[in-house]
Amino acid sequence: MLDRRIIREQPDLVRKALADRHEDIDFEAVVRLEERRRELLGVEDLRAERNDLSKQIGQTIKAGGSADELRSRVNAINEHISAMEEELAATESELEARCLEIPNIPLPAVPIGGGEEDNVVVKTWSEPKTFDFSPLPHWEIGPALGILNFEAATKIAGARFVLTMGAGARLERSLINFMLDTHTRKHGYQEVLPPFLANETALIGTGNLPKFEADLFKTREGFYLVPTAEVPLTNLHQGEILEEKDLPKFYVAYTPCFRSEAGAAGRESRGMVRVHQFHKVELMKFVTPENADNELQKLTSNAEAILEALDIPYRRLALCTGDMGFGSAQTFDLEVWMPGMQRWLEISSCSQYTDFQARRCNTRYRPGNGGKPQFVNTMNGSGLAVGRTFAAILENYQTPEGTIVVPEALRPYMGTPEITPPLP
C-alpha cells in the first residue's frame, strides 16, 4: 500500500507510475476521496466547539442564567458532528478499498515498457547446450522414463496437475533438499516450515487480495491455499516492531503452491510449466530501506547459485514497468533455456517491494538511534521453482539413449548418476 502522503502531496508521481504500468485505475477518485477525508477531519474543530459550549452551559447555570440558547447550539453541533462522523467513516472505508487497488511505484532503475517484449537482458550465464540429436520436451521424456504420469494426475484431480513417481519423486525431493541446504548452509537463510493455508489478512498483506482473488483457491472455512511461501513469510512479523540491530532477516521456506491460473487461458498448458499445484523454495528478506538495493542483488545471486551449481544455462532480465507484478517496485526474472521446448522459461522472479507490503502488514523497525519506528522493506524470490527446475534438468540432461544424467550437485541426494527407463 502506498503512503497516503504520496497520494496527497505527490499525485503526479502516482499518475506517472500508473501510466508506466499501463494500469487503468480511477486515481482521480482516490484524490477526491483523500481531499474529502481531510475536510471531514474538521469534525475535531466542531468537537472542540461543542466542549467549549458545554463549559459555558455549566458556567451560565451556575450563575443562575438561562442556557437554552447554548443547549440549542450544542444540539445542532451534535447533529452536524454525527453526520460528519458517518460520512468520514464511509469515506475512509472507500478510500482504504481503493488504495488497496493501487500498485506500487516502480523504482527509477526500472525500464519503461508495455510488456515482456520490453524487458532487458542484463546477464547471461553459460551457453545453451547443443545436441547431436533432436532434444525432446520434458512432457515426452518424463512419461517415457516412467517418472511423470499426467494421465493419473488428471484422473485424481483434473487438468493442470502433475504426478511424479519413482526416480521422479526422488528427483523433486532431492531438489527441495538441495535448495534448502544451499540457502541455509551457504547463504545464511533461516529455514521456516509455515502453514500451507493463510487467512484473508495475510493475503491482503502481500497484495494478493483483494485484486487477485480469482487466482486463489479458497476453502469453505474462509482460508486460502497459499499461492507461494511469500504469503506466510511476509506475514511472519505482521504487526511487530523489529529492532534495527536484528536486520536484515533472511528466511527460506519450502511449500507446495496452489494457483487457479484464472488468467492462463491459451497459455502453455503442457508439462510442468503452468499447473494448479507445484513445489517451490522461496527466499524472503526484511531489510532497512538503505540496504534494499544491495540485498536484492544478493538475493537474486542466491537464486542464480542454484542454477550454476546444476549447470543449467540461464539469463537475468530486468522487468519493465508494464510487466512487473502488482506490488513490486523492481523485479529481476531468471529464465532457463529449455532445448526441448526451444525457448527460455522463467524459473525465478526476485522482487523488492520497498515498504508497500510492510504497510499492509504493519511491520516496522525501531532505528538504532532511538528514532520513531519506520516501515521495513521486504523482498522475495524463488530459490527455485522446483517443478520447472525438474523440467529443465530433463531437457538439458537428456541423452540419445533416453536416459537423464543427474547433475553432479544432486548425486549425493539422488544416490545415482543417471535416471534410466523402467525395465520391460
Residue type, 170: R
349 carries an active-site annotation:
yes
- Specify whether 259 is catalytic: yes
- 98 catalytic, yes or no? no
Q: Which of 21, 50, 364, 388 is catalytic?
A: 388
Q: Which of 260, 346, 366, 411 is catalytic?
A: 346
Catalytic-role residue among 328, 348, 349, 351? 349
Is 23 an annotated catalytic residue? no
Residue among 274, 315, 366, 411 flagged as catalytic: 274
- Given the residues 21, 50, 170, 259, the one annotated as active site: 259
86 catalytic per annotation: no
C-alpha cell at 357: 507490503
**Catalytic residue positions, numbered:** 259, 274, 346, 349, 388
